[in-house]
Amino acid sequence: MKWIDEDTISFEWCVDDVLQCKKDYGISNYLSRDDCREILSMCECNHGRSLGMSWEVMVYYIREFLRIM
């Protein structure tokens, strides 16, 4: 998390977070850095606005990416 200005904070997710999430949830499939970027894009476009972004949301999109791959 970082402050953008005195009224705004920003939470950032990166490729390393996708790889860590994959590891933490015991997903053994290989993911390239490009794959991780695609998963981040899926998270950005599709996460629930009321729930926000979480590890559970990320693992859902990792699994979805692997399913449609």
Q: Answer whether residue 50 shows pLDDT above 90.
A: no
Domain parsing of the chain, residue ranges: 13-68
Q: Are 39 and 67 in contact (CB under 8 A)?
A: no
45, amino acid identity: C
The sign of the CA dihedral 20, 49, 9, 44 is positive
Rounded CA separation 30/7 (Å) = 40
Question: Could you report the per-residue pLDDT of 55-65, keeping only the tens digit for each?
Answer: 999 999 999 99
> What's the mean pLDDT in 20-39?
97
The reported pTM is 0.87
The SS3 assignment for 62 reads helix
